Amino acid sequence: MSSLAIGAGVPVEQTGDRELWARAAAGDEGAFSELFERHAEALWNYTYRLTGSWSSAEDLASTTFLIAWRRRAEVTLVRDSALPWLYTVAANVARDEHRGARRRLRLLGKIPAQPPVSDHADSVAEKIDGQRRLGRVAEAVRSLPKSQREVVELCLAAEVSIADAAELLGIAEVTVRAHLSRGRARLRTLLEEK
């Protein structure tokens, strides 16, 4: 357990994720709600970096927490934090969604395309440009080899430490560093080509 200082420096004990998961696995909805409140923002930020879309990030984060609730008895935590497990689930759901979206796009490709309608508002254009840039980054990450992609998603997108990523993936830290270095170099190359 860790302690936090609140107000006039009075320490308050904060229940660790491991204990909250155990209580949630036993059916304590309040414990799961506390985990949700604790990690929802970090997970949403991660899913936004994966997808480049606000609405997709919200859907992906919601789906991840739904899966976490359903599989709460099977969860293995890394260093008493639920985030690495949540990030891994979110990445898997994002990949499944991406595959499904590609199938739907192939079907839609058979329908004649409508002419694009442009919006001239500066703020909307900035949001769209930002989403496109993030979308290109997400696409480049998805094109990496699996070993590099997993490390890049955990270490760069989710900001998981190299040690935690190594433990989560079951590989040595030096291997994580190598995959991260190669992944960064490949991403630079891919993003400069676009």
Concatenating the DSSP letter of every residue in 112-162 gives PPPPP-----HHHHHHHHHHHHHHHHHHHHHTS-HHHHHHHIIIIIS---H
pLDDT at site 191: 81
pLDDT at site 127: 72
Sequence letter at residue 166: A
pTM for the whole structure: 0.56
Q: Which two tokens stand for residue 96?
A: 């499944």
| Cα 88 from Cα 158, distance rounded (Å) | 10
pLDDT at site 66: 93
Classify the C-alpha dihedral 25-26-30-31 as positive or negative: negative
Residue 177 burial (10 A CB sphere; 0-12, 13-18, 19+): middle
One digit per residue, the tens of pLDDT, for the chain of length 194 reads 444 444 444 444 578 888 998 899 888 999 999 999 999 999 999 999 988 888 888 999 999 999 999 998 887 677 788 898 999 899 999 888 878 777 877 777 777 777 776 655 666 667 777 788 778 888 888 888 999 889 888 888 888 899 988 988 999 999 989 999 998 899 888 888 75
pLDDT at site 14: 79
pLDDT at site 133: 79
| Cα 112 from Cα 114, distance rounded (Å) | 7
pLDDT at site 3: 42
- The secondary structure of the chain in percent helix, strand, coil, rounded to multiples of 5, reads 70, 5, 20
Asked if 77 and 18 touch (Cβ cutoff 8 Å), the reply is yes
pLDDT at site 181: 92
